[in-house]
Amino acid sequence: MATLASAVPVRREPVTIAPDRVERVLGVLTILLLGFVLAALLRGSAHWSRLPLILWVHLATMITTLALTPAILWMRRGTRLHRRLGYAWVSALALTAIDSFAIRTSGHLSLIHILSVVTLCALPMLVISARRHDHKRHRRVVRGLVIGALLTAGFFTFPFHRMLGSWLFG
């Protein structure tokens, strides 16, 4: 028996496979942020032995996410590689957001932890929209996560006497 939902054809807009200008810019900004993070780590190598394990985990997952971002944004969509890298990106970003709650300034959560909560809420929407082939929503959520969870959060790791900022600029 046919249901009403199956009788109504689903009209989908054509999918733009190629990255647009926004995605190219986001990829470049992500590469710049990754460069600043790596430069800060190199300059702070004398302090590495004092870092707790949770910071190393956070740095590793964040660097993984930053490194994957331009590749995923700039590659052809819908391929097996795009999906696999996307799941790796989601996993790394989820771990970054989760382990951020163990990193506290003066023993307290800070305003930047709001981004971690938003990220953890947005990641399921990202995966669901991709699995449903809702390309517009998927693209919108990806852009929001790159701008909010990566670039904005990344920006706030450098000023205000934070570790990476003091290593890079100190």
Tokens of 129: 């929209």
pLDDT in tens, 9-60: 545 555 667 889 999 999 999 999 999 999 999 999 999 999 999 999 999 9
Quickly count: other Cβ atoms within 10 Å of residue 96's Cβ.
24
pLDDT digits 0-9 by tens, 110-133: 888 899 999 999 999 999 999 999
Residues 68, 71, 74: CA angle, nearest 5 degrees: 145
Indicate if the pLDDT at residue 92 is higher than 70: yes
pLDDT band at 105 (very low <50, low <70, confident <90, very high): confident
**What integer pLDDT is reported at residue 106 of this predicted model?**
76
The pLDDT value given to residue 14: 59
Match 């990255």 to its residue by tokens: 19
Whether the predicted pLDDT of 4 surpasses 60: no
**pLDDT for position 2:** 52
**How far is Cα 133 from Cα 14, in angstroms, rounded to an integer?**
11
Mean pLDDT within 139-166: 92
Question: Domain coordinates of the chain in residue numbers?
Answer: 22-37+53-169
Residue 107 scores a pLDDT above 70: yes
Determine the pLDDT at residue 138.
96
pTM over 0.85, yes/no: yes
For residue 38, the Cα-to-chain-centroid distance in whole angstroms is 17
Which range is least confidently modeled, 92-101, 103-112, 158-167? 103-112
Tokens of 15: 């999918």
pLDDT tens digits along 55-79:
999 999 999 999 999 999 999 998 9
